[in-house]
Structure formats: structure tokens, C-alpha cells
Amino acid sequence: MNEFEIATVIDRPPDKVFAFLVNWDRYPDWSGSLSAARKTSEGPLGAGSTANLVGKMLGRGFETSVVVTEYVANERFATKTTSGAFYLEVGYKLESADGKTAVTTAVRGESKGFFKLAEPVMVRVTKKQFETDTESLKALVEGEPK
């Protein structure tokens, strides 16, 4: 199992940052590996909600299903894959810091199939992608009016 964390500070309060993290429709706006994300379960978003994600990694397309494993408004949001070419757990922890938000992204995963053969490369590429995604999220959120 491979793990890494990414930390950043976003110049917006936690509720604004959290709103972006839990909006599946906006994922392709800040996640470079995703071309589509949509909620597949009924009712309000929360623990147990599901979604499908479609994207590309190492030049290969993928589709995966995820389930929300943790949902604490403005504090924590976590998902894990339930199908697809890799097992991935992603958790976001938000902490208020003088009107800003300290965001820690914890990623834990393991590749399958083709991606397993390329796992050393896959880990580096995935970490770089999450770092880039974090910067994109920060720019997008900070570009919104206060």
C-alpha cells in the first residue's frame, strides 16, 4: 500500500473550500486526471453516497466507482474506490486558520492490472497529479468572491 499527504493553505474559510470538495460536478475543473464525475446515489451527499469518476492516467482511460466514507461538514471528507483499475482512499481534513483553511489531503492506494505493472511510476505520477490538483483547487477557490 502506498501513502502520501499534501498540505496547503487556501485563503478562504472552511465552508467555501468544503463546498468545492463535495461538489462532484466541479471535480473536472480542478482535477487534471478526471473528465467527468457524477453522484450516483439518491438523497443528500453524506457518508454512504456513491459516485462514478471517469478520467485518464498514464495515457489510459479509467472509470471507477467511489463511496463517501466520511462526511463532516466543513471539516472532513473522504472517499474510497469500490471498482476500477486501482484501490484509492482519499481524505481531506480542513482546519480554520485565521480566516483561511489549512487543507491536508491524505492519499492511500494500490494499483491493479496494467497499473500494477507500472506501480513505481504510478505512485510518482499520482502524487504529482494530486499536488497539481491541490494547486488548481486553491486557485479556483481563491478566485471566487469572498
What's the pLDDT tens digit per position in 11-32?
A: 999 999 999 999 999 999 999 8
Q: Give mean pLDDT, residues 50-76.
A: 92
Q: Give mean pLDDT, residues 112-138.
A: 84
DSSP 3-state percent helix, strand, coil across the chain (nearest 5): 30, 45, 25
Q: Give mean pLDDT, residues 50-69.
A: 90
What range does the domain containing 117 cover? 2-143
Report the number of distinct structural domains present in the chain. 1
Q: Collapsing DSSP states into helix, strand and coil, what is residue 19?
A: helix
- Quote the DSSP letter at residue 59: T
For residue 131, name the pLDDT band (cuts at 50, 70, 90). Answer: very high
State residue 134 phi and psi, 5-degree precision.
Answer: -65, -40
Q: Which residue has the higher pLDDT, 123 or 51?
A: 51
For residue 126, name the pLDDT band (cuts at 50, 70, 90). Answer: confident
Under 8 Å between Cβ of 99 and 118: no
- 97: domain CATH number is 3.30.530.20
Q: Which residue do the cell numbers 491541490 mark?
A: 134
Q: How many residues does the chain have?
A: 146
Averaged confidence pLDDT in the chain: 91
Angstrom distance (rounded) from CA 37 to CA 138:
19
Residue 46, pLDDT above cutoff 70: yes
Instruction: Determine which helix (DSSP H) or strand (DSSP E) holds 28, and give its type and residue range.
Output: helix 27-30
